[in-house]
Amino acid sequence: MGMTPAREKIATVGFIGLGQMGLPIAKNLLASGFALRVYNRTQGKAAPLLEMGAEQASEPEDVVSRGGIVLSMVSDDAALKAVSTDGFAERLGEDGVHISMSTVKPATSAQLAAMHARYGTAYVAAPVFGRPEAAAAKMLWVCVAGPTEAKRRVRPILDAIGQGVHDLGEQPEAANVVKLAGNFVAYAALEAIAEASALGEKNGVSRAALLGMLTQTLFNVPVYRAFSRRIIDANFERADFTAQLCLKDMLLAHDVAGQSGTPMPTLELLCERYRLALAKGRGNADATVLALSIAENADLTW
């Protein structure tokens, strides 16, 4: 990961996107002493940040300071492209840096990096691993890729929001490949946990007993523990990350796999699981609702 560079003076940072991940990230930046100018489509979501001293912008381009730094955390490729216009990049201009934390196609990052470069602006991809509670606790893992000097400049910002930064080189799309691969591994783990839970309960072992044992021994890691708690409680209504968003990410990974000729049969299964969840009206449930369909297939009632 390398040594953390000493913080240099950074002017007001622009911040776009105050959803379940963006809001706690922005709060941590303010708490760490960064000045923020923020934009969100639903302006009321900025209220907690304004109380902490942030400024509010009425349009995405209004968060930009020439030669400054803008961080975006938006929902998908379309939203990122809507923000990252030629006008936005031109206004950011020479020596400006756009940090994109969104989970998007690698091709989208490559396209936007080329567009930013035309205006002398650096595009840095910095997607993160962790749910909203990890964001609030500054426990995110950050994958970063982009021009070396831009990464050095924004490192204090990334250090302020997470527990570790992993540098994946100078091509921004590399960070997006790792993010999609990581999300696939996480939800493949969820599939395995859910299937194991159903197997246990069909044979007289409660999911609480089975998963309690496994997450205290062989699989005592955060992702297994978090997914297991959701499955044990059958608590799918409170969504930290919805089934609809998970399907979006699985389909992005599927697209990259198809373009690169990478067979991924487990990914195919996950796409079908989440298509089924949406067909059953569960798109706004937490992504762990996948486990409910597996239980139903086993004729279990939770």
Domain of 97: which CATH number? 3.40.50.720
E-strand ranges in the chain read 13-16, 36-39, 55-56, 69-72, 97-100, 122-125, 128-129, 140-144, 162-167
Domain match, 248 and 199 both = yes
Domain match, 166 and 182 both = no
For residue 9, the model assigns a pLDDT of 55
Domain match, 53 and 188 both = no
**Of 170, 203, 238, which closes a domain?**
170
Q: Which CATH number covers residue 204?
A: 1.10.1040.10
Going from the C-alpha of 200 to that of each of 8, 19, 192, the distances in angstroms are 55, 37, 12
Is residue 239 within 8 Å of residue 284, measured between CB atoms? yes
Domain for residue 6, yes or no? no
User: Which of 179, 202, 248, 280 is an active site residue?
Assistant: 179
Domain match, 241 and 161 both = no
For residue 37, the model assigns a pLDDT of 98
**Of 121, 144, 170, which closes a domain?**
170
Domain match, 129 and 248 both = no
179 is catalytic: yes
**Of 116, 142, 170, which closes a domain?**
170
Domain match, 189 and 265 both = yes
Across the chain, which has 302 residues, the per-10-residue mean pLDDT values are 48 94 98 97 94 96 96 97 95 96 98 97 97 95 98 97 97 98 98 98 98 98 95 94 97 98 98 98 98 97 90
Residue 251 domain boundaries = 177-297
Domain for residue 108, yes or no? yes
Burial class (CB in 10 A: 0-12, 13-18, 19+), 51: exposed
In the numeric block, the tokens 């697209």 are attached to: 255
Does pTM top 0.75 for this prediction? yes
For residue 11, the model assigns a pLDDT of 77
In angstroms, rounded to a whole number, what is the distance separating the alpha carbons of residues 174 and 121?
19
Return the SS3 of 125: strand
Domain for residue 48, yes or no? yes
Please compute, for residue 34, the number of CA atoms within 13 A of its CA located in the half-sphere on the CB side: 30
Domain for residue 7, yes or no? no
For residue 8, the model assigns a pLDDT of 52
Domain match, 160 and 238 both = no
Q: What are the backbone dihedrals phi and psi of residue 101, each rounded to the nearest 5 degrees, phi first?
A: -100, 5
Domain match, 161 and 81 both = yes
Domain match, 161 and 273 both = no
